[in-house]
């Protein structure tokens, strides 16, 4: 079987550039460590691409990615300069495409017609929420209907992959609203999703709202619980979540950047641990006393750490509950099994399975 090439972004940042104004939660300069007033020069773009390309292996598929601002809101001459350089690398076969992030209200048919000849392969739209009240309180400057309209336009260009970003825990958000946002996202059928629980970053309006007690971010535990509700419906719909939680860069970790909120360098791992905890609980309910004295549990090796949980909590709880039912547990790791699934067999009984999709 041929292995899929791993994707890698050759990232270039245009922090806040092209944005009509700042959304309450956003400080891209602080996150990326780059000043918003500094425009990328041709030389800097080439240098950065060359340097990052030197670390890309033949086993990886690279896209040159413009992140951190509203690319399609940049002055056209600046967009043309950036895209022209990126296209040279596409034409030389050194990268397979161009990725850019932008706002839903900065997508229109004429914009798509402009982007297409440069070899743009992926567009990421910041939606943040599909609840109009949350969007208004976050000063996004667009509505949920505008997200749907932008998706409709992008979908007229089948060569372009579409990613949607959501930020649970913004002002006015609730778990129910975030779950509804996911339901609406599923109807839009993106190719992938990113989930970034909202953080209080220094220098944002959210910082002021937080300091004046008008906004309380999610705790880490709440953010894990919310994301654990949001991910399974996306899995069931076959929509990959390519990132959960902000990338733990040096800039983000530097003192005084994240002032409050559910930041964790391994946020996705915490969500996986929570979902395995829920799977083990379901499994316990299905294991009844007359099923034989031992239970063989099988997972993919990459899931072992999440299955065991923080400091082994998940697995310890499970094993001690089974001990009370006078059963021994054996853990088997099998790389032929799918990720995020538990299979188990007791005595001569048929193997049973449960996966994150069923949560």
8 A C-beta contact, residue 271 and residue 224: yes
CA-to-CA distance for 7 and 168, rounded, in angstroms?
Answer: 26
Query: What's the closest the beta carbon of residue 30 comes to ligand SF4, in angstroms?
Result: 11
**Residue 298 DSSP SS3:** strand
Q: Which residues sit at the interface with ligand SF4, rule CB under 6 A?
A: 16, 19, 22-23, 26, 28, 69-70, 103, 126
CB atoms within 10 A of CB 122: 19
Judged on CB neighbours under 10 Å (0-12, 13-18, 19+), 186 is middle
Instruction: Give just the sign of the alpha carbon dihedral 338, 341, 346, 352.
Output: negative
- Give, for 207, the enclosing helix (H) or strand (E): helix 205-211
Judged on CB neighbours under 10 Å (0-12, 13-18, 19+), 331 is middle
CA-to-CA distance for 133 and 121, rounded, in angstroms?
Answer: 32
Helical pair 220-236 and 267-286, crossing angle rounded to 10 deg: 70
Query: What's the closest the beta carbon of residue 125 comes to ligand SF4, in angstroms?
Result: 10
CB nearer ligand SF4, residue 16 or residue 268:
16
């Amino acid at each position: 079987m041929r292995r899929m090439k791993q994707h890698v972004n050759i990232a270039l940042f245009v922090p806040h550039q092209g944005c009509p104004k700042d959304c309450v939660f956003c400080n891209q300069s602080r996150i990326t460590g780059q000043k918003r007033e500094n425009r990328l020069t041709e030389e800097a773009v080439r240098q950065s691409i060359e340097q990052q390309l030197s670390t890309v292996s033949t086993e990886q598929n690279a896209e040159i990615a413009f992140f951190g601002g509203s690319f399609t809101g940049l002055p056209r001459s600046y967009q043309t300069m950036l895209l022209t350089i990126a296209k040279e690398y596409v034409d030389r076969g050194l990268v397979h495409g161009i990725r850019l992030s932008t706002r839903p209200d900065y997508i229109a048919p004429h914009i798509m017609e402009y982007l297409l000849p440069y070899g743009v392969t992926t567009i990421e739209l910041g939606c943040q929420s599909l609840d109009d009240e949350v969007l208004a309180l976050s000063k996004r400057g667009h509505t949920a209907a505008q997200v749907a309209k932008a998706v409709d336009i992008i979908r007229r260009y089948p060569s372009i992959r579409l990613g949607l970003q959501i930020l649970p825990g913004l002002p006015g958000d609730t778990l129910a609203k975030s779950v509804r946002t996911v339901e609406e996202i599923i109807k839009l059928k993106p190719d992938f999703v990113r989930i970034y629980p909202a953080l209080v970053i220094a220098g944002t309006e959210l910082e002021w709202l937080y300091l004046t007690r008008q906004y309380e971010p999610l705790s880490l535990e709440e953010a894990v619980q919310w994301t654990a509700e949001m991910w399974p419906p996306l899995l069931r719909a076959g929509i990959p979540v390519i990132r959960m939680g902000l990338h733990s860069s040096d800039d983000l970790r530097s003192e005084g950047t994240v002032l409050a909120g559910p930041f964790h360098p391994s946020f996705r791992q915490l969500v996986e641990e929570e979902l395995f905890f829920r799977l083990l609980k379901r499994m316990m309910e299905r294991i009844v006393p007359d099923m034989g004295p031992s239970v063989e549990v099988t997972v993919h090796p990459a899931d072992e750490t999440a299955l065991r949980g923080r400091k082994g909590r998940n697995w310890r709880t499970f094993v001690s509950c089974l001990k009370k039912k006078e059963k021994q547990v054996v853990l088997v790791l099998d790389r032929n099994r799918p990720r995020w699934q538990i299979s188990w067999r007791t005595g001569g009984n048929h193997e049973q399975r449960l996966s994150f999709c069923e949560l």
